[in-house]
Amino acid sequence: MDVLTRYYKESLLDNLCQEYKGLWQSAHDDKEKLMKLCLRQQAIPHVATYAYQRKGITKKMALEEFGAYINGYTIHDADDVKGYTYGLYVDYDYDNDLIVDKDVVHIMWTVGASVVVPITKCPIIYISNHSNVHVVCEGYNHVKIYLFDQSKVTLEDVDQESQVTIYKYSDKAKVEQGKFCLSYKIKTFDKELKL
């Protein structure tokens, strides 16, 4: 049984909703469709949690099976919102800045990378699976960050005109502010993870 089938079957045991079951079945043999399905904002917490719990999704599997669709590849309209762009970053090379040029980004198994939000960009960023990244906001940003498991985000350089809202879905997740974090518009909330 391949890892994707195992993930799907284990997901069924946890009462996956009917809509998602149907979408999964129709996309199972098309990796780009599967990636689009996994980047839906309703699906990202589920995917992040299952990967963290090692239920079928591993870093190795993501890199080998979906390498063509990660670390810069753009998925369009995953949530059926016309014009929205999505991207998945797995074990991203920390020697290169991760420029957030998409509307929704999920970062997994990435340690040491600088996540740069260009001026006036207002993305939604999901961070999971022991990731530890540094966020730079170049100005006039309104960034939402969803932080899972034991992941950590350091707000390294945040322009004073930028706003960052962080939702922590684990008491083990960590948020720090660097010395160049100039914004007073940073809020952190603890949230209960409901799958």
Domain ranges (residues) in the chain: 3-190
Percent of the chain predicted with pLDDT > 70? 87
- pLDDT attached to residue 194: 84
Per-residue confidence in pLDDT tens, the chain, 195 aa: 455 566 656 655 455 667 766 677 777 778 898 889 889 998 899 899 989 988 778 899 899 989 999 999 999 999 988 999 999 999 998 788 999 999 999 999 999 999 999 999 999 999 999 999 999 999 999 999 999 999 999 999 999 999 999 999 999 999 999 988 888 899 999 999 887
pLDDT of residue 65: 87
Q: Terminal CA-to-CA distance of the chain, rounded, Å?
A: 25
Q: What is the pLDDT of residue 3?
A: 55
- Please report the pLDDT score of residue 30 as a whole number: 85
Of the candidates 70, 64, 79, 68, the residue with the CA atom closest to the CA atom of residue 108: 70
Contact 187, 168 (CB under 8 A): no
Structure confidence by residue, pLDDT tens digits, 60-106:
989 998 999 999 999 999 998 899 999 999 999 878 899 999 999 99
Distance between alpha carbon 134 and the CA centroid of its chain, in Å? 14
pLDDT value at residue 158: 94
Q: Is the dihedral of CA 12, 15, 16, 18 positive or negative?
A: positive
> Residue 195: what pLDDT?
76
Q: What's the token pair of residue 23?
A: 């979408």
